[in-house]
């Protein structure tokens, strides 16, 4: 094995205007303790993009200790496609003065819920003066709420390989035991009771489980980390009081991050007073426990959350007896164990409180 004694390198780079790309020149030299002579390397590179397509070209000239010279030319191009489920096609080819040519093409992308399924396909070909070799590989990884699963296969001239694996963690906390993706030294525990399927924005594939817990697999210590929950996918019967928090943990700590929730059925109530007139816009709506569950919106519509199957709501918009009315309601029954994905719409009348 060669043991490098010293190395010197000079790099110059220049941006060529707003759209002209980048040009760089690199020169380096090195010698070794256990080998005489000195290696020299000169490289000229240019890169740019056209709309979303990136491309680059590089020419490298090398001189080794025997003073033999070799020049290599390299070109690559990368083309992205899609936005919701993006994938990228990239290709490269290199050729040197010794007669060796290498080419490679790669397709990589993401799919699935929150792009938590990633995949890649690669093919390559190497040709020199005496032989040609071909090869290819494929890999896939799934980032689930409780583990990472992956598999890969590869085959080429004179070889073949394949692998399959899984990685995850088990976290014990005051609320029980939660399965998680692989963890860093500093991670967090989320408690959001009844918020099943709320997604952790910063970590692909992580969701709140059926018991109301999720694990943030990595946090940056001594920095403010944003913990955001996306309620998309939650039942409309549950509301997050806040959907974003920040935490600055110590290295190696495990902060407990609690998101308060309000549970109960939701309904859009179209209501009028007994004389047919609409309720005042913005009036507060309270339940039988005097908890505010909504306000009167446009066209005398009330969106209320946290309701029981039936009850009486009170609307108040003034201090006199004529500025208070009551709304008896009964929500339609829903199928047992069926997850609610929409609110109920009902019509009701509001009678003046006596």
**Residue range 258-267, pLDDT digits in tens:** 999 887 788 8
Distance CA 212, CA 175 (A): 9
Taking the C-alpha atoms of residue 215 and residue 202, their distance in angstroms, rounded to an integer, is 11
pLDDT in tens, 295-317: 998 888 988 887 888 889 999 88
Are 91 and 76 a contacting pair, CB within 8 Å? yes
Q: Which of 185, 187, 251, 246 is closest to 217 using CA atoms?
A: 187
**Cβ proximity of 34 and 13 under 8 Å:** no
> In angstroms, how far is CA 287 from the centroid of its own chain?
39
pLDDT digits (tens, 9 = 90+) for 187-244: 999 999 989 999 999 888 899 999 999 999 999 999 999 999 998 888 777 888 899 9
DSSP-based three-state secondary structure for 336: coil
User: If we measure between CA atoms, which residue out of 285, 303, 193 comes closest to residue 238?
Assistant: 193
Q: What is the pLDDT of residue 343?
A: 67
Specify the pLDDT at position 1: 67
> pLDDT confidence of 318, banded at 50, 70, 90?
confident
Neighbour count for residue 104 (Cβ, 10 Å) = 17
Question: Alpha-carbon dihedral of residues 268, 274, 279, 284, nearest 10 degrees?
Answer: -70
The tens digit of pLDDT for each residue in 70-105 reads: 899 999 999 999 877 889 999 999 999 888 999 999
> Pairing between strand 169-173 and 261-263?
unpaired
Stated pTM of the model: 0.69
Instruction: State the Cα–Cα distance between residues 158 and 133, nearest whole angstrom.
Output: 9
Tell me the pLDDT tens digit for each residue of 29-60: 888 887 777 788 899 999 999 988 999 999 99
């Amino acid at each position: 094995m060669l043991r490098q004694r010293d190395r010197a390198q000079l790099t110059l780079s220049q941006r060529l205007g707003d759209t002209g790309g980048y040009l760089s020149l690199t020169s380096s030299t090195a010698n070794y303790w256990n080998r005489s002579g000195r290696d020299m390397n000169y490289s000229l590179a240019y890169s740019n993009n056209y709309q979303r397509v990136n491309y680059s070209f590089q020419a490298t000239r090398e001189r080794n200790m025997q003073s033999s010279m070799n020049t290599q030319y390299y070109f690559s191009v990368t083309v992205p496609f899609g936005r919701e489920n993006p994938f990228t096609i990239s290709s490269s080819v290199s050729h040197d003065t010794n007669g060796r040519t290498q080419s490679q093409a790669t397709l990589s992308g993401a799919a699935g819920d929150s792009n938590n399924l990633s995949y890649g396909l690669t093919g390559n070909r190497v040709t020199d003066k005496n032989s040609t070799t071909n090869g290819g590989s494929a890999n896939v990884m799934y980032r689930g709420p409780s583990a990472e699963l992956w598999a890969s296969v590869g085959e080429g001239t004179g070889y073949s390989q394949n692998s399959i694996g899984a990685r995850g963690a088990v976290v014990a906390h005051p609320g029980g035991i939660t399965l998680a993706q692989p963890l860093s030294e500093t991670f967090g525990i989320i408690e959001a009771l009844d918020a099943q399927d709320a997604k952790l924005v910063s970590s692909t594939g992580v969701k709140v489980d059926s018991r109301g817990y999720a694990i943030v697999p990595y946090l940056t210590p001594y920095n403010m980390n944003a913990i955001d929950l996306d309620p998309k996918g939650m039942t409309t019967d549950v509301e997050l009081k806040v959907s974003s928090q920040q935490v600055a943990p110590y290295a190696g700590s495990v902060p407990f991050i609690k998101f308060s929730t309000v549970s109960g059925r939701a309904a859009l109530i179209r209501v009028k007073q007994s004389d047919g007139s609409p309720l005042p816009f913005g009036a507060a709506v309270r339940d039988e426990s005097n908890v505010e569950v909504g306000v009167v919106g446009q066209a005398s519509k009330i969106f209320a959350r946290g309701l029981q199957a039936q009850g009486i709501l009170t609307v108040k918009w003034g201090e006199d007896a004529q500025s208070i009315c009551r709304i008896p309601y009964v929500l339609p029954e829903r199928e047992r164990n069926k997850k609610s994905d929409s609110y109920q719409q009902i019509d009701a009348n509001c009678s003046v409180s006596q």
